[in-house]
């Protein structure tokens, strides 16, 4: 696996660049194309991703290693493919990482192709990781929404609900400042789902 290449940008258009390195040209998709200048020498971190749709590999490039790390975190979330992940990174990887750290569901849903379920999944899965990466300074910015989501998940565990039921409830619940109301609403959501899936006689 190639982690990075050093070379010269000889062409760029839309979200693509051609990087010439040791006599070979590489077609690479990037976010924030304006960061890259033709005839400039760069070090690009790379990711080769296979597409089931095109049945081929595409190469994605990142100016920072941590941008590459976040890219892989994004595509590990259901509903986010490589192209959507690159569109999300158009907002800047630091900005996206901080939104995850802060638990900003509402702002995340304003990003391209990110709905509420995906936003909550991102936060619940990667908040702790990116909190450590972004540093203690960001810990003070953790939003009440995330605190309530985590507390809600813990409360449902104590009540004996399974992880799958909890994940489903968290994806459907409307976040408020009232934990007891959220627990009650989550129980209703889980009960409704169970009733819908219950076989009829």
Inside any domain, residue 167: yes
Domains held by the chain: number: 2
- What's the whole-number average pLDDT of the chain? 86
Inside any domain, residue 120: no
| pLDDT tens digit sequence for 43-66 | 999 999 987 777 789 999 999 988
pTM above 0.85, yes or no: no
Spell out the SS3 assignment of 3-53. Answer: CEEEEEEEEEECCEEEEEECCEEEEEEECCHHHCCCCCEEEEEEEEEEECC
| pLDDT tens digit sequence for 118-167 | 999 999 999 988 888 776 444 444 556 666 788 888 888 888 888 888 88
Inside any domain, residue 71: no
Residue 161 domain boundaries: 144-197
Inside any domain, residue 161: yes
Strand partners, 18: 11, 27
d(C-alpha 4, C-alpha 47), whole Å: 9
Inside any domain, residue 78: no
Strand partners, 11: 18
Inside any domain, residue 154: yes
């Amino acid at each position: 696996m190639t982690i990075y290449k050093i070379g010269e940008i000889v062409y760029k258009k839309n979200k693509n660049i051609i990087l010439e390195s040791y006599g070979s040209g590489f077609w690479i998709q990037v976010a924030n194309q304006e960061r890259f200048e033709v005839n400039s020498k760069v070090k690009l971190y790379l990711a080769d991703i296979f597409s089931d749709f095109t049945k081929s590999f595409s190469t994605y490039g990142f100016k920072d290693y941590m941008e590459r790390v976040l890219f892989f975190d994004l595509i590990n979330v259901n509903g986010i493919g490589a192209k959507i992940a690159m569109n999300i990174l158009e907002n800047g990887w630091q900005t996206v990482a901080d939104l995850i750290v802060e638990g900003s569901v509402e702002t995340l849903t304003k990003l391209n192709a990110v709905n509420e379920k995906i936003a909550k999944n991102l936060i619940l899965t990667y908040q702790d990781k990116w909190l450590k990466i972004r540093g203690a300074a960001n810990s003070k910015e953790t939003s009440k929404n995330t605190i309530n989501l985590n507390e809600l998940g813990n409360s449902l565990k104590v009540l004996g609900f399974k992880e799958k039921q909890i994940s489903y409830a968290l994806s459907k619940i409307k976040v408020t400042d009232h934990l007891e109301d959220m627990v009650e609403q989550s129980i209703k959501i889980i009960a409704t789902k169970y009733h819908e899936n219950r076989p009829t006689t």
